[in-house]
Structure 1
Amino acid sequence: MNITFDGKTIIITGAAHGFGRNIAQSFATRNATVHICDVNEAGLEETLKLCGSKTTAHILDVGNRTAVQETVAKIAASSDTIDVLVNNAGGVRGQVGRPIEEISESDWQTIFDVNLSGAFFMSQAVAPTMKAQKSGRIVNISSGAGLGISLTGIQAYASAKAGQIGLTRQLAHELGPWNITVNNVAPGFVRSNPTTERQWEAMGEEGQAKLLQNIALKRLGKPEDIAAMVMFFASDFAGWVSGQVISVDGGK
């Protein structure tokens, strides 16, 4: 299966490291014009260096609807099309699992802003362009936590990722008449960024062994495994696939 994106314009959020960086590199090596977005300016610059001259960086907080609208309008003005949106921005924003009675309103909302509201705002912003061109791909990066429970015990993270899966299915039906597909990748645990490295170390040898034992393939995945599924969803091969959630987790 030879997947290329010649002449295609791609937007990726959360591209400063981890899955987002690898997804950006995967599109760049397939000859796409790539727009990478993140609040982490230093990490975004590093991704930009790895992706090459057809990539443009945008400092963006996806939880800020006004900033999202302005950034997407700028991208649309510079491109003939917006072909693919990858809503990858997310994470636990430095939080750790705590009892429900200790969670503040701010703790809860901060995680929802980036994981769920951000995906909604970005999808909302690209929809007019994709409708006008009568084509488009939206790929959301959720989590196994959205299908089950969060390994970290963070209530807002599990809830926001489950909400993102619901958003995927709803938008697939709303946008389908314009030939816009909306799909979701739900990664298992992957050591892909500083947060997951801290989580891995906190498990200790016993916890790490237990995690691996619960995976059918008995090994952790890599960011490239997540990017590969994104490439499929974004490609012409997935033209009649929409509203789907695919777990990329080594088998559970």
Structure 2
Amino acid sequence: MSRLKGKTAFFTGAGSGIGLISSIRLAQEGANVWISDRDLTILEEAKKTGKAQGVVLNTIEADSTQSDSIKTAIDSISRDSGRIDILVNNAGGSLHTPYQFLDETDEDWKRVLDLNIMGTVVASRFVLPYMQQQKGGRIINFGSKAGRFGSLIAGANYAAAKGAISSLTRQLALEFGPYGITVNCICPGIVLTKRTTGLWESRRTPEERAKVLHEIPLRRHAVAEDISGVVAFFASDDAGFITGATLDVNGGQGMA
């Protein structure tokens, strides 16, 4: 499949997990893919993973909490590739801060908001002028079930940040739709990656985990491949008339 042939995509914070698997998926569909992370060792491992899957992943060091770092990365990618068609704001996480509201400090709030909502704001701010010049583009944001229904393993700071990303998605879709730019948001539930599995198992008892699993109509948690297909869809022309949408990808959790 080559739905994305000739397109350049940039993923923030995609050295592992959902971001890495999704970046490989877009590369398999023909995109020229760039991924960022602040850890060069992680980026080197990501390149090897991509190569093992038969694709090339371009890597660039960048810290999603630092505005200048992200601007430098985006400007560099634009110079190298001539355009940026797709931005995937993947960088995010709870940063292992306390998940009980009264235990969260001001610094816990700042760190999580900086990475999640401000990281999305900054990358979008710097890529949108390029997309305006091109008269088109795709921005794909990552919210979370936590931002819509709360979370059993991440705190109020994370839930608030992810809820804000859904609101930002709608506002950007409204403002930049006239330029042919679509902006959509994916809200996964629990996705079993190395990081989230450890967090889930450490913060909830086996009985609590079983109860949550029973509340998912499909009776399983997601894996990264469940999310990567949705990223590829939103990045493609198949989703060309969808913008401002927040799509739950959680196996039906939250319906009842």
**CA offsets 1:60-104 (integer angstroms, 9 cap, x no match):** 11111111111100111111221100001000112231342x322
Q: What SS class does the counterpart of residue 150 from structure 2 fall into? A: coil
Preserved contact between residue 37 and residue 60 of structure 1 (Cα < 8 Å): yes
**CA offsets 1:7-38 (integer angstroms, 9 cap, x no match):** 11000012111101101110121121111011
- Whole-Å separation in 1 of the counterparts to 2:122 and 2:8: 19
Matches within 5 A, 1:18-167: 18-52=17-51, 54-100=56-102, 102-167=103-168
- Whole-Å separation in 1 of the counterparts to 2:73 and 2:13: 14
- Identity over aligned pairs, percent: 37
Preserved contact between residue 212 and residue 218 of structure 1 (Cα < 8 Å): yes
- State the one-letter code of the partner of 1:149: G
Q: 5+ residue gaps in structure 1?
A: none
Indicate the residue corresponding to 1:240 in structure 2: 241
- State the one-letter code of the partner of 1:133: Q
Q: What SS class does the counterpart of residue 147 from structure 1 fall into? A: helix
Shift in CA distance, 31/153, structure 1 to aligned 2, threshold 3 Å: closer
**Larger deviation, residues 87-96 vs 182-191:** 87-96
Preserved contact between residue 87 and residue 138 of structure 1 (Cα < 8 Å): yes
- State the one-letter code of the partner of 2:123: M
TM normalised by structure 1 equals 0.95
Shift in CA distance, 130/99, structure 1 to aligned 2, threshold 3 Å: closer
Q: What SS class does the counterpart of residue 129 from structure 2 fall into? A: helix
Per the TM alignment, residue 153 of structure 1 is displaced from its structure 2 partner at its CA by 4.7
- Whole-Å separation in 2 of the counterparts to 1:11 and 1:63: 16
Indicate the residue corresponding to 2:173 in structure 1: 172
- State the one-letter code of the partner of 2:110: Q
**Larger deviation, residues 200-209 vs 4-13:** 200-209
1:194 lines up with 2:195 in the alignment: yes
TM normalised by structure 2 equals 0.93
- Whole-Å separation in 2 of the counterparts to 1:54 and 1:223: 19
- State the one-letter code of the partner of 1:131: Q
- Whole-Å separation in 1 of the counterparts to 2:214 and 2:196: 22
Shift in CA distance, 23/215, structure 1 to aligned 2, threshold 3 Å: same
- State the one-letter code of the partner of 2:226: D
**Larger deviation, residues 159-168 vs 57-66:** 57-66
- State the one-letter code of the partner of 1:222: V
Preserved contact between residue 189 and residue 249 of structure 2 (Cα < 8 Å): yes
Q: 5+ residue gaps in structure 2?
A: none
Give the aligned CA root-mean-square deviation in angstroms. Answer: 1.4
Per the TM alignment, residue 245 of structure 1 is displaced from its structure 2 partner at its CA by 0.4
- State the one-letter code of the partner of 1:30: E
